[in-house]
């Protein structure tokens, strides 16, 4: 891989990790808290956990709009991770931008949900 490709991969990996950390913290602050694996975890643990959040989103006692934000954040994060996996095998700049776009959307949806949660704390 070229240096620019290596740097793009490192940046995406860092962004995936940071977004997951925010998601895990967000989930601890849901009306019904959910604990995601943290620390030195791999995709073997994180992917099923994030998928499980998507499965139980409707069980959270929040308005439908906030449930949709949680579901979307998980979906965008998983999409970013999937694209990252493709990049490992076959790097292409457009694909790297697509992974980054997924992570930006993940960040934006999590931000909106975090604001709602902060405004609605008991």
More reliable by pLDDT, 60 or 3 = 60
Rounded to two decimals, what is the model's pTM?
0.93
32 exposure class (CB count in 10 Å sphere: 0-12, 13-18, 19+):
exposed
Contact criterion met (CB below 8 Å) for 53 and 27 = yes
Task: Give residue 39's region: left, alpha or beta (phi > 0; psi -120 to 50).
Answer: left
More reliable by pLDDT, 115 or 44 = 115
pLDDT of residue 1: 54
pLDDT of residue 49: 95
pLDDT of residue 122: 56
Q: Could you give the CA distance from residue 67 to residue 57 in angstroms, rounded to a whole number? A: 6
Q: Which single residue is written with the structure tokens 């776009």?
A: 101
More reliable by pLDDT, 30 or 45 = 30
73: tokens are: 């954040």
Statement: residue 95 has pLDDT above 80: yes
């Amino acid at each position: 891989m070229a240096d620019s490709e290596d740097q793009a991969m490192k940046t995406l990996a860092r962004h995936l990790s940071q977004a997951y950390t925010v998601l895990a913290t967000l989930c601890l602050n849901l009306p019904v808290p959910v604990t995601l694996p943290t620390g030195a975890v791999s995709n073997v643990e994180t992917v099923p956990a994030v998928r499980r959040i998507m499965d139980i989103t409707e069980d959270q006692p929040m308005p439908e709009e906030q449930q949709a934000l949680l579901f979307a954040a998980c979906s965008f994060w998983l999409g970013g991770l999937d694209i990252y996996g493709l990049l490992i095998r076959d790097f292409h700049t457009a694909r790297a931008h697509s992974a980054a776009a997924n992570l930006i959307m993940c960040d934006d949806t999590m931000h909106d949900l975090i604001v709602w949660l902060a405004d609605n704390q008991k």
